[in-house]
Amino acid sequence: MNGPAAQDAPATAPHPEPAYFSAANLHAYYGESYIVQGVSFNVHEGDIVALLGRNGAGKTSTLRTIARMDNPQLKQGEIWLDHQPLHQMQSWQAARQGVGLVPEDRRIIPGLTVEENLTLSQIAPPVGWSIERIYEHFPRLAERARQEAVTLSGGEQQMLAIARILARDIKLLLLDEPYEGLAPVIVHEIERILEGVKDLGITTVIVEQNAIAALHLANRAIILDMGQVVFEGLAKDVLDNADIRQEYLAV
CA dist list (Å): 188 to 66, 203, 224: 27, 20, 25
Confidence of residue 18 (pLDDT cuts 50, 70, 90): low
Residues near 188 by beta carbon (within 8 Å), at least 6 away in sequence:
none
CATH class, domain 21-249, is alpha beta
Query: Across residues 164-185, what is the average pLDDT?
Result: 93
Please, which residues bridge with residue 229 across strands? 224
Tell me the per-residue pLDDT of 207-242, one tens digit each, with 9 for 90 and over: 999 999 999 999 999 999 999 999 999 999 999 999
Confidence of residue 126 (pLDDT cuts 50, 70, 90): confident
Query: Across residues 54-70, what is the average pLDDT?
Result: 95
Confidence of residue 250 (pLDDT cuts 50, 70, 90): confident
Query: In this structure, are strands 172-176 and 203-207 parallel, antiparallel, or unpaired?
Result: parallel
Phi, psi of 123 (to 5 degrees): -65, -45
216: closest CA among 195, 185, 231, 200?
195
Mean pLDDT for the chain overall: 90
Rg (CA), the chain: 21
Confidence of residue 10 (pLDDT cuts 50, 70, 90): very low
Alpha-carbon distance 97 to 81, whole Å?
8
Tell me the domain boundaries of the chain.
21-249
Query: In this structure, are strands 73-81 and 84-85 parallel, antiparallel, or unpaired?
Result: antiparallel
Tell me the pTM.
0.88
